[in-house]
Structures are given as C-alpha cells and as structure tokens.
Amino acid sequence: MTLMEECRRTVPDTVRKIAEEEGVRPEKLARRVAEGRVVVPAHADRRDEVRPVGIGEGLRVKINANVGTSPEVCDPDLEVEKARAAVDHGADTVMDLSTGGDLREIRRRIMKAVDVPVGTVPVYEAAVEMTRRGRAVVDMDEDDMLRAIERHMEDGVDFMTVHCAVTLDALEDVLRRGRALGIVSRGGAIVAAWMIHHDAENPLYENFDYILELAREHDVTLSLGDAMRPGSVLDANDAAQHRELVVQGELVDRCREAGVQAMVEGPGHVPLDQIPAVVRLQKRVCDGAPFYVLGPVPTDVAPGYDHIAAAIGGAIAAYHGADFLCYVTPAEHLALPDVKDVILGVIATRIAAHAADTARGMKYARRENEEMAEARWNLDWDRQFELAIDPKKPRHYREERPPQAKELCSMCGEYCAIKILKDALEERR
C-alpha cells in the first residue's frame, strides 16, 4: 500500500509526526494526503530512514535545494558537501540533478549523506547514456527513458520529476507562435527535442500508466515537470504553458486514482503581477495538488543575484498558495553553484518562505517574529542571532564591527531609537 492509500484508511505514524510538528490535527493531515492535497515524499524502502516532510495545503512552506555534477564540473565530494550544507541551512529536500560522472554512485552517496527526501530527474540520465554511447540525445527510444525512471525508483529516490505533461499541442504553440526564449527546462528541452526529431507524441505521456505502476510499486512521489515554463518574463502565461498545465491537471487525477502521490511543477520567469493568477490557476486546474515553483524570478536582468529575484517571486507565489519553493542560487544562469552559492540560495529561499508564512498567519512565524521583536526591544543580541534564519552572518557583523557601548550597535550608537524611547519612558515613570 502506498502512503496515500494508507491515509485513506488510517493515520500512519509518519503523518502523525508531521502533524505534531506542524501543529495540525493528524486526521486532517491524513485526509489531505489521501486526497492528494499534501504529499509526503518517501520511497517505500526509506520510509523509516527519511525525515518526514509534508508539502501542501495548510503546512509550512517547504524549500528544495538542487545539487549535482555537470559534464563540466564533476566532483562527487563537492556535491555531497553541497547537499549537506543545504540541509544544515534548512533545505527540506534535496534534488540530485547530476549529469557528470557515475550518476548512480553519486545518487547513492547523496541519499546516504542527508536525511531529507531526495528527488531526481531520470531523463537526464537517459540523455547522458546516449551521449556516452556516442549518440545524440534525441536518439534515445522510449525504453531508454522508462528504464532510467525504473532504475531511479529501484535506487530508492523519494520523488522524481517526470516531464509527462508536455504534448505535441503545447509544442506546436511554441513552434508556431514563437517565444522570447524557447524552452529552458533541461528535461523539457530533451523531451521536446525528441518529439521534434521523431515527430511523435511525448512517450512519457503515452506511457504514463506504466510510470504510475512503477511509482505505485515503490511509493515514489511524482513531480509533474513543467517543460514549458517560461525562461523570460515575456513568455509567462502563454498558451504553451497553459496547455501543459491542463495536462498536468489530468495527470494529477490519474495519479490519485492510482494511489500515487503527485505534485505539480511551475514557473520560472513571471512578472510579479501575474504570479497570483499562476498559482490560483494551478490550484484550480490541478484540484489542490501541491505546487512546486522554481523561483519564480520577476525580472530577467539580475544574473549573479537571481537568489534575490527568486526570493521576491517565491514569497509572492507562496503567499498565494505555492507550497514548495525550489531554491535559486546566485550562480543560476551562469555556472554550477559552489557551497557558498548553495547556502545563499537556501537562505534567500527560507526568507521568502518565512515572509509568506508570516503573511499567511502561520503560528510558528508569528511566534518567531514576536520573539525577535522582544529580543530587539531588550537589545539582547545573542537572542537575536539565535532567532535569525542564519545566526552566523549577523553574529559576524557584530564581531567585525563591535560597538563601544556593548548593548548598542555601530549604526546608531547612543542615538539608538530603542534606547532613546526607553530612557524617556523610564524617566516618565
């Protein structure tokens, strides 16, 4: 039985644990998992190993960090270190997107190194195998794609992105009407190129029942990829994107019928005024399935700082209902991220999630903001650092620029607003 099926009958332990942590009723959470409005990614073989993480309606916004080698930079130790750093700084899940080196071995090492759910994109491996056999990526056949999926399921990944929802209709939209920036999803481009080359429908769509069988067997959560996610704010919300969204909705229904957990991936690059509509539409069309967004970035001119752009878009998306934010690092659009980039990406994304949870009235966020206000009123710096999303950096600022008056800071010194007001109030008593 998959977790979703179990939740239709009872309240599994995993769900109880999450309910307690999140402060929701266990029965309510189990119902949401049963209905597919919350996912708990954990491979059948890893249910007792993996930290229970719930993603979806009514829960704290979660964040994912991507790591993985590339053909250009292949250092498995570095990727393990990045995965660990991501989790240490607060990532709720990790995806291994490796395309260089011994992919299976790297995957296993990353899954061992962290206790959070791990996701992958098997079609990358299918592509890498073709290249290594001296063939073009588009020379793969549908069995190559499906075998990669099967292999990842057997290896125990907890969730995986499958680009099943991009169909010839949507591709035709891109080809006929044009786009500022074509297709920028890596997996999406592989599948689309295959469809163009073979002039054939998406084999992952056509074989979706088989994928469901595999996912059901291993209780792997499917993340329905968005091949057509815009790569420029100018392409946001075009016909291609929405054709794919409608198919994602269809596939969500089929997942639920099969007892397979599913979430839906979304954009990408979106002007901020359009973000609320994107989220609401997804929630409607996909009947409340958890929404997993990459960014979105609301401007295209911030390379080197796309973690900041993505924090803007991610906060707005999460406030309007996105459940799961994929981090964006400062290296996005430029290079494979290093450890420092990973940490900055995680922190920026956590700020976005916290801002959203604050606006959504989540109790934990309110309590943390209250405690921070109290620590600031008390000029209690150690407590401020403890409460900070990242305690290290603010502590470093203070150690680097210590104030002469210990309780104050070097910005205002004796003209500290809090101190001036407190003194006046004290005198008044």
The footprint of its own copies on residues 77-136 (CB under 8 A) is 99-100, 124, 127-128, 131, 136
The interface mask with its own copies, positions 135-164, x = CB under 8 A, is -xxx--------------------------
Q: Which of residues 20-59 bind its own copies (CB under 8 A)?
A: none
The CA–CA distances, whole Å, from 24 to 273, 324, 362, 369, 414 equal: 32, 18, 11, 20, 45
CA distance 306 to 332: 6
Q: What letter does residue 12 receive in the DSSP assignment?
A: -
Q: Which stretch binds its own copies (CB under 8 A): 218-226, 238-246, 284-292, 369-377?
A: 369-377
Q: Which is nearer to its own copies, 48 or 426 (CB)?
A: 426
Of 353, 316, 307, which is closest to residue 93 (Cα–Cα)? 353
Q: Which two tokens stand for residue 301?
A: 């001119």
Smallest separation (angstroms) from its own copies to the CB of 227: 9
Q: Among residue numbers 319 through 348, which ones bind its own copies (CB under 8 A)?
A: 319, 330-338, 347-348
Chain centre distance of CA 121: 13
Please answer whether residues 269 and 11 qualify as being in contact, where contact means their C-beta atoms are separated by less than 8 angstroms.
no
168 touches its own copies (CB under 8 A) = no
> Closest approach of Cβ 61 to its own copies, in Å?
12
Residue 244 beta carbon to its own copies: minimum distance, rounded to whole angstroms: 15
Residue 383 found at the interface with its own copies (CB under 8 A): no
Site string for its own copies, 219-248 (x = CB under 8 A): ------------xxxxx-------------
Do strands 55-56 and 38-39 pair parallel, antiparallel, or not at all (unpaired)?
A: antiparallel
**Which DSSP string do the residues of 368-405 spell out, in sequence order?**
HHHHHHHHHHTT-HHHHHHHSSSSHHHHHHHHHS--SS
* Nearest distance, CB of residue 52 and its own copies, angstroms: 24
Count, residues near its own copies per rule CB under 8 A: 119
Three-state DSSP at 62 gives strand
The binding site for Zn(2+) consists of 269, 333
Sole binder of its own copies in the list 19, 166, 224, 365 (CB under 8 A): 365
Strand-pair category, 221-224 with 262-266: parallel
Residue 278 touches its own copies, criterion: CB under 8 A: no
CA-based nearest residue to 338, from 64, 85, 71: 85
Among 48, 72, 77, 209, binds its own copies (CB under 8 A): 72
Structure tokens at 79: 């990727």
Interface stretch with its own copies, choices 40-48, 104-112, 282-290, 362-370 (CB under 8 A) = 362-370
Query: Which residue among 53, 106, 153, 315 contacts its own copies (CB under 8 A)?
Result: 315
Q: Which residues are annotated as a binding site for substrate?
A: 66, 95, 124, 163, 185-187, 226-229, 265, 292
Q: Does 286 bind its own copies (CB under 8 A)?
A: no
Would you tell me the crossing angle of helices 363-377 and 339-359 to the nearest 10 degrees? 100
Q: Which of 78, 113, 193, 281 binds its own copies (CB under 8 A)?
A: 193
Q: 262 to each of 168, 185, 245, how far by Cα in Å? A: 23, 19, 14
Among 139, 250, 358, 379, binds its own copies (CB under 8 A): 358
Residue type at 88?
D
Q: Please identify, among the stretches 31-39, 50-58, 178-186, 257-265, the one whose residues bind its own copies according to the rule CB under 8 A.
A: 178-186
Closest by Cα among 99, 101, 97 to 67? 97
Interface with its own copies (CB under 8 A), residue from 108, 239, 305, 380: 305
3-state secondary structure of 293: strand
Of 154 and 181, CB closest to its own copies: 181
- 48 or 411: CB nearest its own copies: 411
Tokens 């991501």 correspond to what residue? 86
How far apart are alpha carbons 346 and 352 in whole angstroms? Answer: 10
Q: Does 73 bind its own copies (CB under 8 A)?
A: yes
Residue from the set 202, 225, 307, 322 that interacts with its own copies by CB under 8 A: 307
Q: Closer to its own copies by CB, 37 or 269: give it.
A: 269
- Using CB under 8 A, which of the segments 44-52, 237-245, 258-266, 386-394 binds its own copies? 386-394
Closest CA to 152 of 189, 191, 110: 110
Which is it for the CA torsion 185, 186, 191, 195, positive or negative? positive
Separation of alpha carbons 411 and 401, rounded Å: 10
- Bind-site residues for [4Fe-4S] cluster: 409, 412, 416
Residue at token pair 């393990």? 80
